[in-house]
């Protein structure tokens, strides 16, 4: 079985992490796998392919914006790849590659299956176009049950075309032998006498950092002097948020770590509570899964993949919307006041990751899905 994955991206993101993990798994299992990506723009993705010994092609450009000449070049480029590689499945992760895969299948007479992954809810913002395009696919994979329900109800995608495969996390990377670390003592002089509330997300308006800051300030006003807010990431509203925090007079209690990758497990092990108020480009909310794999209680909104990852009162709490500051502050207060509850919920997070979101189990589901749509048995390669 030959699988060609296409993704119009050139930088490392949540979706590209899944693409690389899946490609490596398929290759390790002896399947022919290849990735086509946005080679027109310089980025870190090619380096990740090389580091992980992933088969890839640079014959596709997938430029940002509309470039007629490069679009025609990609049509011929993909036609050549299909002719030479002869894929059984083309697995698309965004619109442009999806259009090309459908177009070439229709006009070349190729027999490959077109599979589309829905990574986030952007498809709902352009319902007419998405409904038209998605109905041309042979199968569609969503990473949460809510997206599946939206495709069924709003876009009338036949249920037999839909498959839910949830996100995954490398639990071995984040669990470790010990779920506590001295990261904040070592780097910021913040000891265990402080309860550390963390959020890992790009600083964008939509991610809700301001609401978390407001909730944190309300707790400070109630006399909670034993708490610190840890904000991890980079992005366009970072500077304005720093100004806002200074105006509120809580800048000495807020830590801005910048972008953290290599030391992220150690950082998460140093937190006590994790909050995420909106998904990013990766609708499976990888940041929540990484926090859960680190043994943390989690607080999030009741939407999308949050519904599949957080079990109310078991491993964390829901709030009804990211802007509901009083409710967010109340949920944080419950966790701050009860160390035993924090530890118990953290243990439940670990159990949920192990049973529902472990990397090996979830990637295996992709392989089983591929075999199912091709009519192969479990022993067929």
Identify whether the C-beta of residue 237 lies closer than 8 Å to the C-beta of residue 209: yes
pLDDT tens-digit series, residues 261-301:
889 999 999 999 999 998 876 666 889 999 999 999 999 99
Query: Where does residue 139 fall: left (phi above 0), alpha (psi -120 to 50 degrees), or beta otherwise?
Result: beta
Pairing, β 113-118 against β 139-142: parallel
Torsion, Cα 347 350 352 353, to 10 degrees, reads 170
Work out the average pLDDT over 356-372.
93
Domain segments of the chain as ranges: 2-168+359-374, 171-357
pLDDT band at residue 196, thresholds of 50, 70 and 90? very high
CB neighbour list of residue 65: distance below 8 Å, 6 or more residues apart: none
Distance of CA 184 to the CA centre of its chain: 26
Q: Do domains 2-168+359-374 and 171-357 have the same CATH topology?
A: yes
Identify whether the C-beta of residue 211 lies closer than 8 Å to the C-beta of residue 325: yes
pLDDT tens-digit series, residues 235-268:
999 999 999 999 999 999 999 999 998 899 999 9
**Rounded Cα–Cα distance for residues 207 and 299 (Å):** 14
SS3 19: helix
The predicted pLDDT at position 303 comes to: 85
- pTM of the full predicted structure? 0.88
CATH of domain 171-357: 3.40.50.2000
**Rounded Cα–Cα distance for residues 62 and 66 (Å):** 10
CATH of domain 2-168+359-374: 3.40.50.2000
């Amino acid at each position: 079985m030959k699988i060609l994955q296409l993704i119009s991206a050139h930088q490392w993101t949540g979706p590209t992490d899944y693409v690389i993990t899946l490609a490596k798994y398929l290759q390790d299992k002896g399947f022919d796998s290849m990735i086509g990506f946005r080679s027109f723009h310089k980025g870190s993705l090619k380096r990740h392919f090389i580091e992980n010994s992933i088969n890839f092609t640079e014959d596709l450009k997938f430029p940002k914006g509309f470039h007629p000449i490069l679009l025609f070049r990609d049509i011929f480029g993909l036609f050549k790849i299909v002719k030479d590689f002869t894929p059984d499945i083309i697995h698309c992760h965004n619109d442009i590659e999806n259009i090309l895969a459908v177009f070439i299948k229709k006009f070349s007479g190729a027999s490959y299956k077109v599979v589309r992954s829905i990574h986030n809810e952007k498809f709902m913002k352009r319902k007419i176009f998405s409904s038209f395009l998605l109905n041309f696919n042979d199968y569609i994979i969503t990473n949460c049950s809510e997206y599946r329900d939206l495709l069924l109800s709003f876009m009338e995608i036949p249920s037999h075309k839909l498959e839910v495969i949830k996100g995954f996390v490398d639990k071995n990377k984040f669990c470790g032998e010990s779920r506590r670390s001295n990261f904040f003592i070592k780097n910021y002089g913040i000891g265990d006498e402080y309860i550390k509330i963390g959020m890992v997300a790009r600083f964008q308006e939509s991610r809700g950092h301001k609401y978390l800051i407001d909730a944190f300030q309300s707790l400070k006003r109630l006399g909670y002097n034993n708490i610190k807010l840890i904000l991890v990431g980079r992005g366009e509203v970072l500077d304005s948020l720093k100004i806002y925090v200074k105006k509120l007079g809580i800048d000495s209690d807020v830590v801005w770590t910048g972008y953290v990758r290599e030391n992220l497990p150690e950082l998460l092990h140093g937190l006590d509570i994790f909050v995420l108020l909106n998904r990013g480009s990766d609708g499976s909310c990888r940041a929540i899964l990484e926090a859960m794999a680190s043994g943390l209680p989690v607080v999030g909104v009741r939407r999308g993949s949050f519904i599949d990852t957080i079990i109310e009162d078991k491993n964390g709490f829901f709030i009804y919307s990211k802007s509901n500051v009083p409710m967010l502050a109340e949920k944080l207060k419950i966790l701050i006041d009860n160390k035993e509850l924090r530890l118990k919920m953290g243990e439940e997070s670990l159990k949920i990751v192990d049973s529902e979101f472990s990397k090996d189990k979830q990637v295996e589901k992709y392989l089983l899905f591929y075999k199912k749509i091709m009519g192969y048995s479990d022993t067929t390669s």
